[in-house]
Structure 1
């Protein structure tokens, strides 16, 4: 009955007779529910190409009631839709009624030291005529976590430490995803945690997860315990009551302890017993690389009081990249909401972050700032953030010819406490909306210090020095730029977007040779407000303008701008010092000057002035 239902209702089954496609069986493992075999199977995209896979043959007990079938189908169908970088990928799932001949043929292909297990399945199939089952095709992965722990040498180097951290992060992230999908793992143990490829290649993959609580086809309790559930990692009492998410976290805590402290097989069982039943918290050693690990393990295993969010906050702070390869790995494999900590070394390359809500910052207590240095001859950014809601802080970025320092493609990102220098393109290029740049020092760029294209951005506490072309270029609308000092930029700030606000801007021209422009508002920069703008060293004899306004409806307050040129209507200046001159262009109307000062006011149209002081007024 169950096999027929499975065959009819199991989703995502392109070939109901796919067993014929499986070749070259060899046994990987067996247990109370069935066997796992290494097989060769056609690839999804090209059936002519075969690849090695792992196939689980899950045989189900005939004690199942008919009304339980639908629930089992729903549970297994849910598993086929899961997708996460830290989960074993299931390529194919189907139900089948196995005949006695098929079971005998299947078992004949396996070489196993436990001949009784093989014989039992064959005899059972002959007695029952058919056995209902589920077959799953999965990618074939590398060694399991238990194998790695047992082979690590006593002397721990940086490579081992990095692997320990990644294992803890990957297992936690995979389990977190399962819980978000309302799925419990139920059998979390090192043997079910696999490396991606042979040779202990990261990242880690959780396997054997989420199976419904089914009665085994083999009725022996000892067989069930031996082959399906390792009681060492099972929360006390969880087998006799409803299994809960906290039971998975109990298993996670033990696995993290085993991984961080490298508990060997011969000592593990005794140590687990002393921690779980003896509550000896001192067995868990503190670790400088993985701080608060004792608090984590005790909270998950002994007190069972720590929730997933609390655990992830501790584990997330272990992600430290101490060289270029580790940084690249972290960028490739960090999950949304993760962190990457850097140390005071040079990371040379062009790096891209594609995951949302990731923080990159400096490991506390390391002193100097990490340096991200762009590669020579590469036009890409030193660091590109193509995702959203990320933050970068406390680093230095050193560009090379043709490189941009930081490129924000995504939105709602924050760049804070960063020094950028030495590029020939952009210091920071921001395309996404609602990005925030704060407390940046940008120097020696030959093109643009900061370019803002996405709206509703915030630029605050910026120091710009020796920018050959433009200090800040604002294409966006509704952005705020404040607390900026800019020295020796040929064009201090140019604005092409509308409804932007500028405050506390200080521009210094220290070069007397070229024509410089302080702030220039182009035609589309209407509804701009400027407060506390100071432009120093700008002289008309050099062709300089401290402030040029070509936009409509502009307001400038409490500023000392140097020479000013107004070329569009509806401009109001209040308490503004124009230095040498305030020049109003022809046909420019509705200009209001309130409490303004300048050596000269030059206007070919009527200007409304209130409490202003000019030594000379002319047309």
Structure 2
């Protein structure tokens, strides 16, 4: 029984009437396999906490009771701002009358929580008392998963700072656990909480029901359980019982990626699989303010534990070296005309953000280096020039957003946008005219929300692993609309039905099977 085990644990004490009478339970915060969590107010001082009710089924080997002991033992840790604080643990026996008094039906608003309550009460119809444990913890806000489900403006600098802070908090919290030889084993956004309601930082790691204290007497005599944790975040070595701290680092790497890139829930499993098993590292987008993010995530998510980072100190060292990009005035710049923009591009450093105004920018512009962001004001930020290509992007990791590039008349033989570099992203662009509205020679570039019109030859992509999504093609073309060249392997064309002049478009799709993978080359040609 739970009480027999917990009596050996100096961190717990017996349930007493004064303890119960000092708390008023106000609402159910959640339920699940772990039990029920209720919001409680201390009647003496008005302080609020969260109280977890756990009523484990009795098992011969005491498996469920051992899980409770692990969570209780977190109380012995030194307090840390990125770990949910366990205030008290209380064990005892509960009668039907006691549970009715503590857990009235009015506290439970949704059907799932009501069902969980009914499950406990149903068990009391078969026994007189129910053995259980109450774990009193600091009251936190929403989970990290809830924050990820919110709508975010990816261009918002305040969001970038918050993402950085969340990543830093996750690393610090896990470092504290590992320093105390605790392996969490179930790191995921559902088990990370914000400090207060309203997504208030810092975030804190919680839910230690699956944790283990490594290098303890117990871990030396009892092997670790295989297949522990949540599948999406579980390292491959956890299929066996021979794993250690790198398993947590794997989960951490995927969470960092999820936070920094705001990966959607329905894309998560597929993207995790492509990164880990197919090694498609180009899926990891560069972050405008966290330097070295791609390298950090790659080092944390290697499929083989021996190839992965082994200790949190390695993560902390890399993260310290790749600090938040400097946001002082010198890196947060505004260009009011073409001449100013050319000067700023010449002196731009990684992480620089250049903002444009509603104006005409005349001439040709070349973006070189790494991780430079250029943000316009929409269709009223217009690029024109007197010859050659209007906009040439070299280097890697650049972001070009929210502007218009126009070429017409005698200069139509050149391109609106020419991309020679790799891993760049383009969004919310309006491209008018040119021989090619877009010509992409580099690899792993992404185009999203692009409007193209009056282009002689449309879009031409010769590089590999480039992605086009949400393209609006209007007006007539003299030859073809979109063309992926014969060597443009692994290209993706999605959501391209925004073609208003469908009568002018006819095409075919060629499939090439090389080795054991299907490689795609797309050509949409005008007949």
Deviations 1:586-616 (A, max 9, x none): xxxxxxxxxxxxxxxxxxxxxxxxxxxxxxx
Query: 2:39 aligns to what?
Result: 38
User: Are 1:88 and 1:207, in contact at CA under 8 Å, matched by a contact in 2?
Assistant: yes
Cα displacement (A) at 1:7: 5.4
Deviations 1:148-202 (A, max 9, x none): 2222424322211111111111111100110111111122111221121222221
Deviations 1:442-496 (A, max 9, x none): xxxxxxxxxxxxxxxxxxxxxxxxxxxxxxxxxxxxxxxxxxxxxxxxxxxxxxx
What TM-score, normalized to structure 1?
A: 0.46
Query: 1:221 aligns to what?
Result: none
CA distance in 1: counterparts of 2:118 and 2:350, whole angstroms = 62
Query: 2:146 aligns to what?
Result: 147
Cα displacement (A) at 1:78: 4.6
> Counterparts in 2 of 1:449-460, with a 5 A limit?
none
Query: 1:310 aligns to what?
Result: 314
CA distance in 2: counterparts of 1:300 and 1:67, whole angstroms = 31
User: Are 1:95 and 1:135, in contact at CA under 8 Å, matched by a contact in 2?
Assistant: yes
User: Are 2:6 and 2:12, in contact at CA under 8 Å, matched by a contact in 1?
Assistant: no
CA distance in 2: counterparts of 1:154 and 1:83, whole angstroms = 34
Query: 2:108 aligns to what?
Result: 110
Cα displacement (A) at 1:365: 6.9
- 3-state SS in 2 of match to 1:126: coil
Cα displacement (A) at 1:126: 2.8
CA distance in 1: counterparts of 2:75 and 2:283, whole angstroms = 37
> Counterparts in 2 of 1:33-182, with a 5 A limit?
33-42=34-43, 48-65=44-61, 73=69, 76-105=72-101, 106=103, 108=105, 109-114=107-112, 115-182=114-181
User: Are 1:57 and 1:135, in contact at CA under 8 Å, matched by a contact in 2?
Assistant: yes
User: Are 1:168 and 1:256, in contact at CA under 8 Å, matched by a contact in 2?
Assistant: yes
User: Where does structure 2 lack aligned partners over 5 or more consecutive residues?
Assistant: 213-227, 333-347, 353-527
Cα displacement (A) at 1:72: 6.2
Greater CA drift, 248-257 or 192-201: 192-201
User: Are 2:325 and 2:351, in contact at CA under 8 Å, matched by a contact in 1?
Assistant: no
CA distance in 1: counterparts of 2:162 and 2:318, whole angstroms = 17
User: Are 2:82 and 2:202, in contact at CA under 8 Å, matched by a contact in 1?
Assistant: yes
User: Are 2:276 and 2:301, in contact at CA under 8 Å, matched by a contact in 1?
Assistant: yes
> Counterparts in 2 of 1:435-446, with a 5 A limit?
none
CA distance in 2: counterparts of 1:145 and 1:75, whole angstroms = 20
Query: 1:372 aligns to what?
Result: none
Deviations 1:292-329 (A, max 9, x none): 22222122113441132222222223443857xxxxxx
User: Are 1:171 and 1:204, in contact at CA under 8 Å, matched by a contact in 2?
Assistant: yes
CA distance in 2: counterparts of 1:128 and 1:240, whole angstroms = 38
> Counterparts in 2 of 1:283-432, with a 5 A limit?
283-303=283-303, 304=305, 305-307=308-310, 308-320=312-324
User: Are 1:24 and 1:39, in contact at CA under 8 Å, matched by a contact in 2?
Assistant: yes
CA distance in 1: counterparts of 2:163 and 2:94, whole angstroms = 42
Cα displacement (A) at 1:107: 6.0
User: Are 2:188 and 2:233, in contact at CA under 8 Å, matched by a contact in 1?
Assistant: yes
Cα displacement (A) at 1:54: 1.0
- 3-state SS in 2 of match to 1:238: helix
Cα displacement (A) at 1:208: 0.9
User: Are 2:87 and 2:138, in contact at CA under 8 Å, matched by a contact in 1?
Assistant: yes
Cα displacement (A) at 1:270: 2.0
Query: 1:420 aligns to what?
Result: none
Cα displacement (A) at 1:29: 1.2
- 3-state SS in 2 of match to 1:94: strand
User: Where does structure 1 lack aligned partners over 5 or more consecutive residues?
Assistant: 43-47, 214-227, 324-341, 347-362, 368-619
Give the strand-richer structure, 1 or 2: 1
Deviations 1:417-439 (A, max 9, x none): xxxxxxxxxxxxxxxxxxxxxxx
CA distance in 2: counterparts of 1:264 and 1:270, whole angstroms = 11
CA distance in 2: counterparts of 1:62 and 1:107, whole angstroms = 25
User: Are 2:169 and 2:203, in contact at CA under 8 Å, matched by a contact in 1?
Assistant: yes
Give the count of matched residue pairs.
315
Mark the CA change 1:64 to 1:276 in structure 2 (over 3 Å): closer, same or farther.
farther
- 3-state SS in 1 of match to 2:182: coil
Query: 2:23 aligns to what?
Result: 22
User: Are 2:92 and 2:133, in contact at CA under 8 Å, matched by a contact in 1?
Assistant: yes
Cα displacement (A) at 1:242: 4.9
Computed over aligned residues only, the root mean square deviation of the Cα atoms, in angstroms, reads: 3.5
CA distance in 2: counterparts of 1:5 and 1:196, whole angstroms = 32
CA distance in 1: counterparts of 2:160 and 2:94, whole angstroms = 47
Matched, 1:188 2:193: no
- 3-state SS in 1 of match to 2:263: coil
> Counterparts in 2 of 1:477-496, with a 5 A limit?
none
CA distance in 1: counterparts of 2:70 and 2:200, whole angstroms = 34
User: Are 1:99 and 1:129, in contact at CA under 8 Å, matched by a contact in 2?
Assistant: yes
CA distance in 2: counterparts of 1:236 and 1:54, whole angstroms = 34
Greater CA drift, 258-267 or 17-26: 17-26
User: Are 1:27 and 1:112, in contact at CA under 8 Å, matched by a contact in 2?
Assistant: no
Mark the CA change 1:316 to 1:67 in structure 2 (over 3 Å): closer, same or farther.
closer
User: Are 1:4 and 1:97, in contact at CA under 8 Å, matched by a contact in 2?
Assistant: no
What TM-score, normalized to structure 2?
A: 0.53
Query: 1:231 aligns to what?
Result: 231
Cα displacement (A) at 1:98: 2.5
Cα displacement (A) at 1:206: 1.0
- 3-state SS in 2 of match to 1:179: helix
CA distance in 1: counterparts of 2:125 and 2:322, whole angstroms = 54
Cα displacement (A) at 1:286: 2.6
CA distance in 2: counterparts of 1:68 and 1:187, whole angstroms = 16
CA distance in 1: counterparts of 2:55 and 2:230, whole angstroms = 20
Q: Which of structures 1 and 2 has the bigger CA Rg? A: 1
CA distance in 2: counterparts of 1:161 and 1:243, whole angstroms = 34
- 3-state SS in 2 of match to 1:320: coil
Query: 2:278 aligns to what?
Result: 278
